Homo-oligomer: A and B are copies of this chain.
């Protein structure tokens, strides 16, 4: 691996014929944008004929020109990382040291901090305001029942969201843990309901089914997912994407939590006084039952 397409072109520049070399220079000069131009355009820029561009591509070892473009595309996105492979890549370098000097944990915290800050910032920057406010509106509508569901780790986010919503609105339901209960839960999805699904890789098929089902029943669907988009996103009315980068093999849910908290805050804001009433009420109930 290791080599980028540009490096590869530079390396094999010597094997090319003069006219082909002109093509390669044009490609490198405008890298990576030029690669996505049409063959004819590139040919014109390099002052050669179209077939020369083709020959250049094939001599570089590509099946055709689209093949070369595809190679660059897949180089541009950095996906395909399962927790295991991440672990194997990262851990190898400085592993053996057993007794860590004091500074190390400090360094770890510092590195983690900047990663988290970056991830949270990017997440919030990339949230389309419209999506966020659609979600707020849906969750603020008292006539809609709310269902929340999450996966292996993310069910905790679902519960967190649900717990907060419960504080100031009715009809918040959690996806049960056990299969039998889940079935009856899913049959109860109705029109006007809004379903919130957390689905991060590895995506869980039942989340997609759930979203699809909720949609078919005429309900609205909100999906929290990572930048690679859960398949459930296909059936969603609102998709909220959060970054997951971290310095460990596991995805970070911190940006997701931050977004959930903002969502809760916005919903509370939106519901306003009614919500306040309910908060007070639930507090007094809690006091009388001695739960506080």
Contacts and interface: CB of A to CB of B under 8 A. Distances in A.
Contacts of A118: 88, 91-92
B246 A254 contact: no
A132 interface: yes
Contact of A74 (B33, B110, B272): B33
Contacts of A83: 32, 76, 279
Contact of A90 (B121, B160, B254): B121
- Chain A binding surface SS class: helix
A182 interface: no
A218 B25 CA distance: 22
Interface stretch (A52-60, A185-193, A234-242): A234-242
Interface string A237-260: 101010000111110111001100
A87 B279 contact: yes
B125 A90 contact: yes
A112 B265 contact: yes
A122 B164 CA distance: 25
Contact of A202 (B108, B250, B261, B292): B292
A127 B11 CA distance: 9
22 contacts: A10-B126, A14-B129, A22-B233, A28-B241, A29-B228, A30-B77, A32-B76, A36-B73, A37-B73, A90-B122, A91-B118, A91-B272, A92-B118, A105-B130, A105-B132, A110-B124, A112-B262, A113-B121, A117-B120, A202-B292, A248-B261, A257-B257
